Structure 1
Amino acid sequence: MADCELVVHNVQHPDGTPCDLLLAGERILAVQPHEPNRSWECSVFPGNGALLWPSCLDSHVHLREPGFEHKETIATGLQAAAAGGFGQVMAMANTDPVNDTPGTTRFLLDAAQKSHPQGPALLPVGAATKGLQGQELAPLAELAEAGCVAFSNDGNPVSNTELFRRAVEYAADWRCRVIDHCEDPHLAPGAGINEGRMSSRLGLKGQPTVAESLHVARDILLASYLDLPIHLAHISCRESVELIAQAKQKGVPITAETCPQYVLWDEGLLEGFNTLAKVNPPLRTPDDVQAMRQAVRQGVIDCLVTDHAPHAGHEKDVPFMAAPNGISGLETALSLTWGLVAQNELDAADWIRLWSQAPAEVFGLPAPSALTAGAPADFLLFDPHRQWDVSPRSLASLGKNTPCLGASLTGRVSAHFLGGRCIYDGNAPLAGSH
């Protein structure tokens, strides 16, 4: 085809057919049945039979800059996103200064454009309250005009329900949602371990599941009363998903996310005071994990997020209660959740929905590429058989704080294209790795 500039040769389309993807500029020129022996007059990128998926959207990440560049920078965080298969990431506001002014929002967007002009794209999440202090609303209109796509008080839940109500109402005026970290601020906030058998064994004060479900119930009642959407962050336990399921059956405009850790791992991973598995909300019981898997499968949970929370190595190498919460997850998330597809817990359509289609729908963002002629050339190639070792060297993120460290995973992004350009080639050496 005369206009073709690049052929991505031999990939498996989501419909299950082997194909060759022809690109021209920023769009897909054609999708043709795979021709093994055809000679092409344009450049060829070997797909090697990899799975072809739309580029993914992570609607909950922490990129740390400005203020905490020893943990992560916008440049390294976006490089990790590219390697992980995420063409867009929604960056939370808990930076220093907090993203509660248009100037900070513009700084984030400018830094992303300078470091990654071809993408991934950084989508700022503005602070719901000034300084994330829960005392006074941030200037939501000005933040939306500057480029914020949602609002959240992140790890500092707004306990003042009247203030939270006003945040939801004002955000709706700009067709934005408030993302709420559901946690009662008085029930062992940020404990990093579930209240139960493991916390008793380790002699630690744990956080009960009711600390989460109480706020879930509040938000459901408020969303119902206002008839306005609220998005619930990183849901982790059975009680919460039961409340969400009941609310959705009644038509309450509530949406929810969870993370790979809550559908894969339980509190047993904290054995030996493992700070790499310390996260907020904490890992729960095996029963909670099964409930979360069912909720993801049935659509009670709308989307998956990484809650990428990088920390410097020395910050986790301290006594358990002194260690910060968080897991670095951008580069392992697709590999880990692909394991659920391999185990028939999810199918491939679920996987695409959870990581691409649903988050775009929830936050009113452009739909992912349809991977058809004329669609944006925004896609990733995923090798479901590729085995790789998770090590400091294999991760682009400055945060190496993952329970997967030292493990071997199966399945990895082999290439990532945005606007027809390859922003990540898994066969190329990792720049700056050490």
Structure 2
Amino acid sequence: MKKFFFTCFIAFALYFIVASPQAQAADYPVIQSGQTIEGTLADEDRVLYQVNVTKPGYVKFQGTSYSHDLYLSLLDENHNTIVGLHNSFGNATATAPVTRTNWEYVEPGIYYIEAYSSGWHNEYFKYRFTMTVVDSKTTEIEPNDGSELAMAIKPTQKPITAQLSWSDSTDYYKVKLDQAGLLNVKMTAYMDRMYVQVFDSDLYEVESWSNYYGGSELSGKVSQDGYYLEKGTYYIKVSQWDSYTGKYKIETKFSKTPNNEKEPNNGLEQAQKIKPNVQSVTGLISWNDSSDFYKVDVSKTGVLNVHLTIYQNKDIKIYDRDGDTLLDRWIYKSSNTSSDKWSTSLNVKKATYYVQIYGNTGLYKLNVKVPEMLPKSPKAKATKTKVTGTTYANSKVTVKIGSKKYTGKSNSKGAFSIKIPTQKVKTKVYVSVTTGAGTSKSTKVQVK
């Protein structure tokens, strides 16, 4: 009886050793890239070959069968099927073999090629396959599968080669902007489809796009988009669309915008003050700063002129000091010009007014004028060698003769005297003054 139990134990142990894939792993023949394997399968035979992948890339196998009963698969380290040639040899016979090809992108590791016969037709048949491992030559730094592991890239980054594989479906990249501007993201996809998303530091989605159709292993499809963003940290997420895998390239280009607005100016209480007739401001509407407000103090009853240069569609609103809307206008940017100029005028009283700019992201230029607030033109007369007169005290005086300009300054009593090159009698001379309220209209005099 003891002998019987001992014999059963040995048999069970031998069965476990033979049946366990992990136990047999060391016995599987290791095949090299480019190697061709030939063999014969009997009913329900399973034969495994080990493939060692040392760099990110793809495993490609081309199988030839002399029977429609061949199943050829790529397996992972735990013998789970990754991709296979199943039911692909339907017309194969002993005299008319059929050849089929398949592949999959994988990460470094141990893989297996499995040849299997289902044994439906109780026959022996020949098979042959060639296995090739192709290096994707990636330059991304793994792991970068989440925002906390994101690979840091520069705002202007040369192309990085990466891949989405069977076991690595997501890549993250982190870019830090030290100032506001336009971040352009360019993707080249060597696969049929992929998914790209841009997030802010709180992982709120800025934009998502997936317009990659028709990219292939040998022919990449390029797509790009730009985002006006404020200073901060952003993430670019690249992930699989459905189960598509393949190689891609990512590059970025950052352009600083020349905006000189003072942030924050996102509401009436935070509105940036600008002086009529004096200041001009270049502003930026970005993804995370969608509205700008400006405060205009009008010291004299007159006409408020608002001038706007736009590069994208914009909206403008003008409010009185109580927040009531005086103007609400959507401004359409013409498609055949680099910029459009727009102006409007409102009759106003002495008071405070607000201008709000919002709409599509991008730059704009704003200035406001109230002619009634401009300084009065100076009193002046001209001789052959100088221009004299009176105006506001301690102010800049400009003399224009033809295309030439000559400047001076009035004294504490408002008197000025500016030397000029010798002029002919009756030469026209234009004299203006500039104060904190702007530049006056010119006084025209003739040389005597």
Task: State the TM-score, normalized to the length of structure 1.
Answer: 0.19
Q: Which structure ranks higher in relative contact order (CA pairs < 8 Å, sequence separation ≥ 6)?
A: 1
**Structure with the higher helix share, 1 or 2:** 1
